[in-house]
């Protein structure tokens, strides 16, 4: 099972950080180095995207289809995996307020459908941390350039 989380403070206004999180839905390869490409399959609702991304977890490029829902009121985006032959699960991207400002938390909860699948040994903690850090860098760079 891949249950990993990474959280860090982001020195940017909510609207700037949220804009980058929305961009991450459309172009995950810009934020997650393990993603090689992606494609939007449809938009079944106003805050819902059906997407296929291709993720190289170290065992080769694998398609990962997700239904993604975003809610700026709860400051949360849920990436729910569907029709995946190897994994089931979801990832959340949540913006939280603390006493010093905003924090971005990405939590991944994937489970392999077969016991001891080799993809369980992928560097998931590093992949999640890299996505948080990249999002932070982009949001802070924009916030400081305005």
Q: What mean pLDDT, rounded, does the chain reach? A: 90
Mean pLDDT across 123-141: 92
CATH of the domain at 93: 3.30.530.20
Determine the pLDDT at residue 98. Answer: 79
Question: For residue range 35-61, what is the model confidence (pLDDT) as tens digits?
Answer: 999 999 999 999 999 999 998 767 778
CA dist list (Å): 31 to 89, 112, 113, 146 = 20, 24, 26, 21
Determine the pLDDT at residue 146. Answer: 63
Query: The domain containing residue 51 runs over which residues?
Result: 2-145
DSSP string, the chain: -EEEEEEEEE-S-HHHHHHHHHHHHH-GGGT-TTEEEEEEEEEEETTEEEEEEEEE-SS-EEEEEEEEEEETTTTEEEEEEES-SSEEEEEEEEEEEETTEEEEEEEEEEEESSTT-GGGGS-HHHHHHHHHHHHHHHHHHHHHH-
pLDDT category at 1 given cuts 50, 70, 90 is: low
Question: For residue range 70-79, what is the model confidence (pLDDT) as tens digits?
Answer: 999 999 999 9
Question: For residue range 15-35, what is the model confidence (pLDDT) as tens digits?
Answer: 999 999 999 999 999 998 889
Structurally, the chain folds into a number of domains equal to 1
């Amino acid at each position: 099972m891949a249950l990993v989380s990474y959280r860090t403070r982001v020195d940017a206004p909510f609207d700037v950080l949220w804009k980058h999180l929305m961009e991450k839905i459309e172009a995950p390869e810009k934020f997650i180095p393990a993603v090689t490409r992606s494609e939007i399959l449809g938009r079944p609702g106003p805050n819902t995207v059906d997407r296929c991304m291709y993720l190289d977890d170290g065992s080769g490029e694998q398609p990962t289809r997700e239904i993604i829902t975003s809610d700026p009121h709860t400051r949360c985006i849920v990436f729910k995996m569907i029709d995946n032959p190897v994994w089931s699960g979801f990832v959340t991207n949540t913006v939280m307020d603390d006493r010093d400002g905003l924090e971005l938390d990405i939590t991944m909860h994937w489970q392999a459908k077969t016991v001891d699948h080799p993809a369980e040994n992928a560097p998931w903690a590093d992949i999640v941390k890299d996505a948080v850090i990249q999002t932070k860098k982009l949001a802070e760079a924009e916030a400081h350039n305005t």
